[in-house]
Structure 1
């Protein structure tokens, strides 16, 4: 049996964020055993805490969707860091954690709430005409419905659609048959003076998740694209509204680094019988 936590991420209200399943002391588990367990939990992500192989890291993290492993994902990063600390993990620095994952070494800041430094984008910039047509078809939108579209792939493969306002984001009704292997994020601004600056939605059927409730990696991509340009350098994003959640993602651009933070609370703690 191995220690287990389930952590609700990106919300201050119980059971209104995005849950991540965290298996502690996961050394010795095979890839197949990890994937089978992640498929069984059927959450958007399940993570496994392991001994680091990089001496600069505090711990190593592997991240699985129900169908595949990801090199990086946001809410699993914050939820797993929270679980590691709660279980007695002792970081080498008082101010930051160093997480080893498929995307390399990731910095996690410890202030009012945990926040990770957005990893470098693997792909950014404009989409092609063919990609634009597929994206608009998948979202059932016309050219006039969107302000801009950009790649924002930081591991999960995001392409991001900027819409004219938050209400339009909430009105999107995707055509799932047209997605192919696309993972599409949609963002639109709220009126000035609102509680949150933007509404965000994340559609990722290619990895076995139709709509993700609250998504750190996507919000990192949006911050890298729009913070300090169309959006302030520091803002709060709302996500999950369409699913009855109340996700709040804190985004801050500090120099060249975009920090993505959120609250986390453990909702389940115990042991699981996975692997040897």
Structure 2
């Protein structure tokens, strides 16, 4: 005989993040008013949604923050992730949240405080300040050999690579062109346990400056449609090394039939990573 689990009904939305077109971005499940839920309940629900991330909004513990977020994949909790940051901010604003500072939200997460700019009151276009990289540097040759095998490319096709860790442990790889990025057919077993983001420039005059793809080779290998955390690290790397201008747009999700657009802008000491957010599903969820 199993014991009954108490069930509560809470506001719920599903947000389309990083695309100006309907169903072109990365979906995010957001549970508003999540106080009282245990970590086990959150993890179980995130596993059930089967989305790359599900977030839970809570009252802040830090007095400087407007709200607090917990971010879960189907298998684990993350300290930070990009599209959950923007999608959660959008959901909070749309639900009537009022930031202490006009036009600027402060989100509390396990990784600390994250600033989010809102271009309008309903959170349609948002951008977060890229968090500091906790690991940045060269990738060992034996790991690059695994990455090249996983991407189906000769080692010399990887023009440069770097660890870009800001919560998720990304390895960033630079290729010679967007065409090479789009042609990749990943071999997940070859790069098992690694999270790899690949970048290639589009020709001059194209609508976007870079093409991005990200591959996660853990228990549930997949290609992520649009990835804010990786684009944040990649922007710091590319702009810092002079490979990208201070303002650019990256396309992601093309191979998956998505129209992800990540807008990057360096502004003084900050690099802002932004995109469109639109609620596609709203209602309640029983947890």
Which residue of the partner structure matches residue 137 of structure 2? 125
Superposed displacement of residue 180, structure 1:
2.4
Runs of 4+ in 1 over 2 A off after TM superposition: none
Aligned length: 274
**Which has the higher Rg, Structure 1 or Structure 2?**
2
Q: Deviation per CA, 1:106-127, whole angstroms, max 9, x where unpaired?
A: 0001126210001110111111
**Does 1:169 find its partner at 2:181?**
yes
Query: 1 CA distance for matches of 2:132 and 2:258?
Result: 29
Q: Deviation per CA, 1:26-57, whole angstroms, max 9, x where unpaired?
A: 01111111111011000111000011110000
Query: 2 CA distance for matches of 1:208 and 1:68?
Result: 12
**Does 1:251 find its partner at 2:264?**
yes
Specify which of 37, 48, 51 is matched with residue 40 of structure 1: 48
Q: Deviation per CA, 1:215-264, whole angstroms, max 9, x where unpaired?
A: 11110011000025111110000000010000000001122311000000
**Does 1:50 find its partner at 2:58?**
yes
Matches within 5 A, 1:114-263: 114-206=126-218, 208=220, 210-227=222-239, 229-263=242-276
Q: Deviation per CA, 1:120-153, whole angstroms, max 9, x where unpaired?
A: 1011111111111111122121122121011101
TM-score in terms of structure 2 length: 0.93
Query: 2 CA distance for matches of 1:27 and 1:263?
Result: 28
Q: Do the aligned residues in 2 keep the contact of 1:67 with 1:208 (CA within 8 Å)?
A: no
C-alpha RMSD of the superposition: 1.1
Instruction: Mark the runs of 5 or more structure 2 residues left unpaired by the alignment.
Output: 1-8
Superposed displacement of residue 207, structure 1:
6.1
Q: Secondary structure in 2 aligned to 1:263?
A: strand
Q: Deviation per CA, 1:137-180, whole angstroms, max 9, x where unpaired?
A: 22121122121011101101111000000010011111111222
